[in-house]
Amino acid sequence: MKQKKRNIKNLIQWILACIVAFVLANVLILPYWYAPGWIPRAGCSTSAIYHAGEFVINGYEGYGYSHVDFRGYLNEDLPVAQDHVLVLGCSHTKGTEVPMGKRFSSLLNDKLSGGDDSILYAYNLSIDGFYFPAIVHGFKAAIDEMATTNAVVIEIPTTEFSPEEFEGKYYPKHYDYTQAGSWLYYSLPTKTRVQIRLKEVLPLVSLYLSKQLVFEQGTKKPFIYEVPEPVKEEALDFTKEEYQTAIDNALFSICFFWGEDLIIYYHPEATIAEDGSLKIKESITTPWFKEVCEKYNVTFVDATEAFLEAYEQDYIVPYGFSNTAPGEGHLNEDGHRISAELIYEALKGGNEE
């Protein structure tokens, strides 16, 4: 009997120790990782938003701290200016790998504001995986949500899209205020809100469930974030005509609802080659994409030359961090700075190609 009681006591102690260790681990990981609730939605521009009013901490790649505004996107809690610039893009634009003020949208805001830090002149509307086909689908909803936009910047890290990716994307999504920001969170069932809160108070679980710890099927190798598979030139299963028809339909869909300034900002992969030079990934689809942009008078800004020049002059690499490999992953502070300079120049009419 005594042995049984001792075993039960030991078991309880082990359980308590595990609970304490788990709680402590969640507290200790906070300076390294914190992700607010991710709320899927069917309407509006993006497929999901963050839990409004929360914050994001990312020390997994680079290091950044960001705030979630009342709409569910990563922006300072400031009013948005009349005639502001709307910036749409994927995780590079979201920029959680750098401090919030170092993202290219924030740097662009500084350039446009003339020193006025009480209002946003550039609004960042981005989420992971918000690539060009998804942006085309959600474009009208985005400009309806941000009704006083006078210029739009679309960030793309690749031009390698297959025509199939645009299927179903030409018909626009519509803005639905009930699926925006705090409205969406409070409309969720109580059980779902509790699940979101549990994820927020348990960042270790959030990290485990995040894409950082997902393993590729087949190879079982971990990957850092989701990116589309690049299209190899020798493996193209579509013609130039088919590709340009898809891009033409995409830009027609956008320009049907938008007749003001439109900039597409393209920043290609840039890695360090074995000989120490900076290697820019070239794609046969980039000039094809640019040709269609010219047809619709869309400004196509290509960061290739700026990246090469920065490396040749100061050995600046636009991707990679001290805790990752140079040239890999997301835009770093230098990459964001170069991006902001190129986009600002284009907005002022000095970088049209």
Kindly report, residue by residue over 121-151, the tens digit of the pLDDT.
Answer: 999 999 999 999 999 999 999 999 999 999 9
> How far from 298 is each of 151, 261, 294, 347, CA to CA, in Å?
11, 8, 6, 12
**Mean pLDDT in residue range 87-111:** 97
224 has pLDDT over 60: no
Helix axes 285-295, 240-257, angle to 10 degrees: 40
The overall average pLDDT reported for the chain is 88
| Residues 132-170: b if buried by 16+ CB within 10 A, e if exposed | bbbbbbbbbbbbbbbeebebbbbbbbbbbbbbebbeebb
Tokens of 89: 């893009």
3-state secondary structure 232-290: CHHHCCCCHHHHHHHHHHHHHHHHHHCCCEEEEEECCCEEECCCCCEEECCCCHHHHHH
Q: Which residues, listed in sequence order, are joined to residue 266 by a DSSP beta bridge?
A: 156, 302
DSSP H/E element including 53: none
Residues 331, 318 contacting (CB under 8 angstroms): yes
Q: What is the pLDDT of residues 34-70, one digit of tens each?
A: 889 889 998 899 999 999 999 999 998 999 999 999 9
To 10 degrees, what angle do helices 132-145 and 240-257 make?
Answer: 10
Q: Residue 269's closest CA among 259, 260, 278?
A: 278
Q: What average pLDDT does the segment 288-301 reach?
A: 98
Question: For residue 132, what pLDDT is reported?
Answer: 98
Percent of the chain with pLDDT over 70: 86
- Three-state SS for 108-123 is HHHHHHCCCCCCEEEE
Give the model's confidence band at 196: pLDDT under 50 very low, under 70 low, under 90 confident, else very high.
confident
For 165, the 3-state DSSP assignment is helix
- The Cα angle at residue 251 between residues 249 and 254, in degrees rounded to 5: 110
Q: What is the pLDDT of residues 9-34, one digit of tens each?
A: 677 778 877 777 767 766 767 778 88
Percentage of the chain exceeding pLDDT 90: 70
Q: Distance between CA 45 and CA 88 in Å, rounded?
A: 10
What pLDDT score does 14 carry? 80
Rounded Cα distance between 71 and 49, Å, is: 8
The strand ranges marked E within the chain are 33-34, 38-40, 48-50, 55-58, 64-67, 80-89, 120-126, 149-156, 261-266, 270-272, 278-280, 299-302
Cα(124)–Cα(104) distance, rounded to whole angstroms?
9
Predicted pLDDT of residue 214: 41
